[in-house]
Structure 1
Amino acid sequence: MKRNLLTVLTIASALTVIVTGCSSTKTNVATPAASENAPASTTASTPTAKKDVTLTVGSSQNWVKDIDRKLAEAFTKETGIKIDFQVNPDDQYMNIVKTKISTHEAPDIIYMPSGIGMDNFQPDKNFLDLSNEPWAANLKGWAKSGASINGKLYGFNTWSVDGWGVLYNTDLFAKYSLTPPKTYAEFAALCDKLLANGITPIYENGKDEWHLPLWLSGMSTVKGAGPSLTDKFNKNEAKFADQAVLETAMTQLNDMNKKGYFGKNVLSNDWDHGYEALGSGKYAMDLVYTTYQQEVVQKFPNSGADKWKMFPIPLGDNQGFATSSGGIIRVVNKESKNIDAVKQYFAFLSKPDNLKSFYTDRKDLGEPSFNGIEVAPPTAALKSIKEISGTNIDQAYESSIKFWDGGLLGKSLQDMISGASTPKQVLQKLDESRDKSFKVAK
């Protein structure tokens, strides 16, 4: 999710990247080895496209994995239809997509985060309605909801619903007699104790603009926020800077850095080095998705990461779990000249055996989006954070708020961490950006 769930919305400094086609850029999330399960054939009822077709697929660098390429190769072998993955840098992708759509140069298939953010792209005008595709009836409710706008299904979803929480090393917590905090004060106290014993409390990859905004995005469930405030945000009847609990949360995030909870190089840390930071035991916690521990185990088998647990983001005394709207989806360019080939490709990917191959490889994902696909038991992280949160579960702001500008927010939070901005100013900049977008939308 993750990250996905994660949102990549900074201003593109160059728009030539998507033209270069496929890229071998290293992904931020570990890619499991390809499954040995053989991809299944498509059904006879699937529309038949010409075999000299090449489908272009636009994606952020994190979102295309080895299993996607393997299934694409199997599809090509069976149909002759080629798949051209056009992979772009995280911090440029969404703005490249906006530009390509506006200039009528968008690829046939476009990866993007699920949820209300789709509404920013005028889906009725630009995306193909997939509501009547045969596979749509087998989507789970959350997968269909997160890929729909105004009752129309625009996204092909093979991701999973997940959320971000603080994963912690249970061995380190036990060693120093620490327990999951119920308040920010308790959280600060356990961080102080870890520091006193030579353990850096939290790994924060502040270099990546998409990650810092997750601390605020997860505040949708904090006491004083909730669905009613989300509704006001989406009607532009409330401002982030006017919410005392959100300003408190950002002030606490800033204090975490000042107190050394992130270590000395927070703005130099990137996502890839988080595995070693936690797997080596040098850091005790990280803000990640619930299947992240499985990736740590793959890289550090002796870390005991499979037993690690998770608690909610503690800012503002939060005890709720903010989830995605279903991860990353694929929408279809309404102007594509290869609609039949796209439908054939989606039908192929939605076959049960191919879905099984996909989820077997994608160990970073949780619950499958399609009914009838068996999954492994929930991770210790997911189980533990749901036990703490109970019924206090709702969609994170990045999935539920109109005109959530993760790129601008990421830069603003980096400025705050470096001392060039205040917590209040971070929220004010987000409000200013959203005001402009609402005016344009009207």
Structure 2
Amino acid sequence: MKIGTKAGVATIAALLAVGIAGCSNPVSNNSGGSGGSAAPAKSITVWHNTADSPALLDLYKNFTKATGIKVNLIDIPSNSFETTTQTKWTTGDKPDIMEYHPTSAAILQFNPSSFQDLSNQAFVAKSGDLYKSAGSYNGKVYAAITQMPSIFGIYYNKADLKKAGVTVPTNFTELMSACKALVAKGITPIYESGNSQWPTQILPAAYVADSNKGNVYGQQLFENKAKVNDPNGPMVKGIEAYKALQNAGCFQKDFATGTFEKSTDAVYKGTAAMTALHSDALTQFVQSAGSAQKVSDAVGFAGVSATSPTAWFGPSPLGSYYAPKTGDAAREAAAIKFIQYATGAGYPKLIEEGKTYPVIQGVPNPTGLAPIQEEYKAAYDNGATIGVNLPGWGTFPAELSKLLNGQETPIQVANNMQSSVEQAAKAASLPGW
């Protein structure tokens, strides 16, 4: 997969030429909820991830300046983003805008009827094929995506790898070799965030990436034509490879209490040589370094999979917005105004300030990208998606926690994940289940 030098960015499964219009759509374009004919409310409540970039935080402020509609931000901690969002939702609390994963699995989890239908909004037609594989379910669009997909791979401290005399790992064999060389030099090879849990799924999924070019394996899982717990399948092999890294002493001693926030600081400062995270973690790295350029001076990023430098990617929850149905026509109308601003008049500034590639037509690539941001693009060029729409996958980090703590074997993890997927797929009445 390649991204053009002028404008272009990823879909979940294929290259997408993109661009944006310079103004937002009229509220009458809303085709779901009751907000289409009502005057917008004077304020909206937004559930947002605390890992939002400064550019996204400015988007909320700029929306208020442009429309007069106040944004009340409700912080959802990045460290417990999924569980906190789900828990708040189940209490009956509903925001006007919800920042969350734009996947079919997420839409099913919250129920498509809970959201305003955004299918007729102008950004959909200006996003190429993006909404065929993200932000939609059963032909209807429910999430507005503003950011390039999250690219998952290895962050590495350049000085640590040089000290150990190893090159950047491009596959799991090389990753294991690098681990042993780093241990021999007294350097912690990989920082693992066992307490945060969600980062633990990145390496097993990374192993699978080169088996899923064109989302072939992921689609087989989704259609029940392949099993997560096939003993010779990519997922079981990936979980086994992850456990092998632990057994070889590749993780820091306190991996069980390790956190996402500490992982970026550890790699930037060189107390750990590597950690597996996504491209959105740059915001956290910048908090340690002070700027993206300083991050780039010390840290690099690359994809890694079973046998090749294939990164894996999925749609980012950051900057992906749902407009829940609240039953209040004025609030729903104001939510649509926010969607229209974020994908219209406010979008060019978001892209330039955020230094990220556009996914809606008409906006050029931002200027002044740091080297590490170019590395994200390079990793994406050789990337593959992996199971981002698979229902029931949310328990994977908890299962891996049991694996790391010796409570389950790799095949037991895979068996439990297969059961979770089967249960969720049947509950959603997916074809083939």
Task: Show the counterpart of 2:303.
Answer: 312
1:143, distance to aligned residue in structure 2 (A): 6.2
1:164, distance to aligned residue in structure 2 (A): 0.6
1:83, distance to aligned residue in structure 2 (A): 2.3
1:226, distance to aligned residue in structure 2 (A): 6.5
1:409 aligns with 2:401: no
1:266, distance to aligned residue in structure 2 (A): 0.7
Task: Show the counterpart of 2:12.
Answer: none
Task: Show the counterpart of 1:430.
Answer: 417
Task: Show the counterpart of 1:247.
Answer: 236
Task: Show the counterpart of 1:371.
Answer: 361
Q: Check whether the contact 1:321–1:385 (CA below 8 A) recurs between aligned residues.
A: no
Q: Pick the aligned partner of 1:169 from 157, 160, 163.
A: 157
1:280, distance to aligned residue in structure 2 (A): 1.4
Distance 1:427 1:382, change over 3 A: farther
- Structure-to-structure mapping, 1:41-56, within 5 angstroms: 45=26, 50=39, 53-56=42-45
Q: Check whether the contact 2:212–2:386 (CA below 8 A) recurs between aligned residues.
A: no
1:396 aligns with 2:386: yes
- Structure 1, residues 152-190: CA drift from partner, whole Å, max 9, x if none? 221122222231111222333334331233443322122
Gaps of 5+ in 2: 1-21, 29-36
Q: Check whether the contact 2:25–2:340 (CA below 8 A) recurs between aligned residues.
A: no
Q: Check whether the contact 1:403–1:434 (CA below 8 A) recurs between aligned residues.
A: yes
1:347, distance to aligned residue in structure 2 (A): 2.5
Distance 1:77 1:280, change over 3 A: closer
Letter in 2 for 1:345: F
- Structure-to-structure mapping, 1:266-345, within 5 angstroms: 266-290=255-279, 292=281, 296=285, 299-300=288-289, 305-307=295-297, 308-314=299-305, 316-328=306-318, 329-337=320-328, 338-345=331-338
Task: Show the counterpart of 2:6.
Answer: none
Q: What secondary structure is seen at the aligned counterpart in 2 of 1:181?
A: coil
For normalisation by structure 2, the TM-score amounts to 0.78
- Structure 1, residues 329-381: CA drift from partner, whole Å, max 9, x if none? 211123442222122222233344x3243334435xx3122223331466545
- Structure-to-structure mapping, 1:17-416, within 5 angstroms: 45=26, 50=39, 53-63=42-52, 67-77=55-65, 79-90=67-78, 94=82, 105-121=93-109, 124-139=112-127, 141-142=129-130, 145-223=133-211, 227-244=215-232, 245-290=234-279, 292=281, 296=285, 299-300=288-289, 305-307=295-297, 308-314=299-305, 316-328=306-318, 329-337=320-328, 338-352=331-345, 354-362=346-354, 366-374=356-364, 375-376=366-367, 380-381=371-372, 383-384=374-375, 391=382, 393-397=383-387, 399-405=388-394, 408-416=395-403
1:73, distance to aligned residue in structure 2 (A): 4.0
Percentage of pairs with the same residue? 21
Report the Cα distance in structure 1 between the residues aligned to 2:374 and 2:68, rounded to whole angstroms.
44
1:270, distance to aligned residue in structure 2 (A): 0.9
Distance 1:44 1:404, change over 3 A: closer
Report the Cα distance in structure 1 between the residues aligned to 2:378 and 2:24, rounded to whole angstroms.
42
Report the Cα distance in structure 2 between the residues aligned to 1:404 and 1:439, rounded to whole angstroms.
14
1:419, distance to aligned residue in structure 2 (A): 1.2
1:103, distance to aligned residue in structure 2 (A): 7.1
Gaps of 5+ in 1: 1-40
Report the Cα distance in structure 2 between the residues aligned to 1:105 and 1:389, rounded to whole angstroms.
37
Q: Check whether the contact 1:164–1:289 (CA below 8 A) recurs between aligned residues.
A: yes
Letter in 2 for 1:194: L
Q: What secondary structure is seen at the aligned counterpart in 2 of 1:56?
A: strand
Q: What secondary structure is seen at the aligned counterpart in 2 of 1:222?
A: helix
Letter in 2 for 1:269: G
Task: Show the counterpart of 1:7.
Answer: none
Letter in 2 for 1:209: Q
Letter in 2 for 1:254: K
1:432, distance to aligned residue in structure 2 (A): 1.2
Letter in 2 for 1:259: A
- Structure 1, residues 291-312: CA drift from partner, whole Å, max 9, x if none? 6457535633699531443332
Aligned length: 393
**221-230 vs 261-270, which moves further:** 221-230
Q: What secondary structure is seen at the aligned counterpart in 2 of 1:264?
A: coil
1:106, distance to aligned residue in structure 2 (A): 2.4
Q: What secondary structure is seen at the aligned counterpart in 2 of 1:57?
A: strand
Q: What secondary structure is seen at the aligned counterpart in 2 of 1:174?
A: helix
Letter in 1 for 2:322: V
